[in-house]
Amino acid sequence: MGICLNRHHKGLVWPIDSGLSQQGDIAVGYRFAPAPVTSALWVSVMNDESEILKIHDDWIGLEESGKEEGVLKFCSKDVVWLVPGLGELQGVEEVRSYLMGQPETVIVSIDTSNVAVEVSNGLAVKRARFCTTFMNGDIEAKITGTHIWTLRKNRLADQWQVTCIAWVIDAGSS
């Protein structure tokens, strides 16, 4: 019998007795137990997480260097950006227009914390806290908040693409 994921519990479901059957969504004679992780699977997940964290770092570097439009190379053509106070932007060209229409801002630094990546079968979610320090005229200002990305692995190109981005600005940020 094969391994089946249970949508209500973390981990894998393993049969107690391979002679028992499965009825509908309820697995009869199954128990929840930690599944043995093969080294190939573990390496694959770790590689995926590393690739996504590299995209995260490269994205931050592009923003800090003033090349915000460069982040679009990491996005799928049908990407969705959920921009606070503006709403939904659909597709790379709409996002590009949004970025090009933004006022010139000098980003001093972007610090992230609590970065977490979850990967499953060619899909991933990355979330992080951020603190962006920028120049507002002659005054240094900070904005803090949380962002979340969903990503999809483009199997033909063997690379991760950001498919949706949402962020929330903390109350009281400048």
**Bigger pLDDT: 36 vs 46:** 46
Does residue 90 surpass a pLDDT of 70?
A: yes
**Bigger pLDDT: 28 vs 124:** 124
**Bigger pLDDT: 41 vs 144:** 144
* pLDDT, averaged across the chain: 79
User: Which pLDDT belongs to residue 112?
Assistant: 95
pTM, entire model: 0.72
Q: What is the mean pLDDT of residues 153-162?
A: 92
pLDDT tens for residues 97-155? 999 998 888 899 999 999 999 999 899 999 999 999 998 888 999 999 999 999 999 98
- Report which secondary-structure segment, H or E, holds 160: strand 159-169
- What is the distance between the alpha carbons of residues 153 and 12, in angstroms, rounded to a whole number? 22
In 3D, which of 169, 167, 171 has the Cα closest to residue 80?
167
Does residue 5 surpass a pLDDT of 70?
A: no
Q: What is the mean pLDDT of residues 151-161?
A: 92
pLDDT tens for residues 65-79? 989 899 999 999 999
What domains lie within the chain, and their CATH numbers? 4-33 (no CATH), 39-169 (3.10.450.50)
Residue type, 140: E
Length of the chain in terms of residues written: 174
Those residues whose C-beta lies under 8 Å from the C-beta of residue 88, and which sit 6 or more positions away, are: 80, 81, 82
